[in-house]
């Protein structure tokens, strides 16, 4: 079965307080956006442009707030996304507190990364996109949708791509947005 990750009451409170400090009201619906992927796996990341486009769609069509999340390696790209979308910056946290912030979201859009694993363990609704790593190897336990392009070279596990348009370049924002909508509807 799915793995479980228990947050302490203090950690749960940390997440709730963090959202409050960002000015996010209790009634607001929140999406965690974790589209970077660290340095080792550049190809796992969704481009800044596509992330911005997705966040704007989520706000316009669904009226949801997106928290732009990531670690220290995503800090620079996240600043750009925050500036272009006007959405709150998820900031930097210890790992457990990062999980506590994810815990406050209604849905997490993530690369195949640590955030995804926290999302699964916390039972969150998920939209996970895949490029060079295998969607088949990840079990979402019915929590959401996997999104990937239909290139033959998918699941190459390479750090650099041999082609001009890599697998995530070929993933459309529309595909991702439809997965977000579907996941929110399917899972209530």
pLDDT value at residue 38: 67
* Domains of the chain, each with CATH number or no CATH: 9-186 (3.40.50.2000)
**What pLDDT is attached to residue 91?**
95
The predicted-structure confidence for 125-182, as pLDDT tens digits, reads as follows 999 998 767 788 889 999 999 998 765 555 555 666 565 555 566 788 999 999 999 9
pTM of the model: 0.90
Q: What is the pLDDT of residue 154?
A: 54
C-alpha closest to that of 31 among 181, 136, 154: 181
Q: Encode pLDDT of 20-77 as tens digits.
A: 999 999 899 999 999 988 666 666 789 999 999 999 999 999 999 999 999 998 999 9
At 76-124, the pLDDT tens digits run 999 999 999 999 999 999 999 999 999 999 999 999 889 999 999 999 9
Residue that is written with structure tokens 């959401």 in the block: 144
Alpha helices in the chain (DSSP H): 9-21, 48-62, 75-85, 95-102, 114-121, 173-186
- Is residue 50 helix, strand or coil? helix
């Amino acid at each position: 079965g799915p793995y479980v990750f228990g947050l302490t009451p203090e950690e749960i409170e940390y997440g709730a307080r963090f959202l409050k400090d960002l000015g996010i009201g209790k009634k607001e619906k929140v999406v965690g956006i974790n589209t970077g992927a660290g340095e080792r796996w550049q190809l796992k990341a969704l481009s800044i442009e596509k992330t911005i486009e997705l966040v704007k769609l989520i706000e316009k069509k669904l009226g949801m707030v997106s928290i732009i999340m990531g670690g220290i390696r995503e800090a620079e790209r996240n600043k750009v996304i925050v500036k272009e979308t006007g959405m709150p910056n998820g900031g930097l946290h210890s790992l457990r507190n990062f999980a506590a912030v994810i815990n406050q979201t209604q849905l997490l859009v993530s690369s195949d990364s640590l955030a995804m694993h926290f999302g699964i363990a916390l039972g969150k609704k998920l939209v996970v996109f895949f490029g060079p790593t295998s969607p088949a190897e990840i079990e979402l336990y019915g929590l959401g949708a996997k999104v990937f392009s239909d290139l033959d070279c998918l699941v190459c596990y390479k750090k650099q791509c041999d082609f001009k348009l890599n697998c995530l370049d070929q993933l459309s924002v529309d595909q991702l947005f439809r997965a977000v909508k579907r996941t929110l509807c399917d899972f209530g």
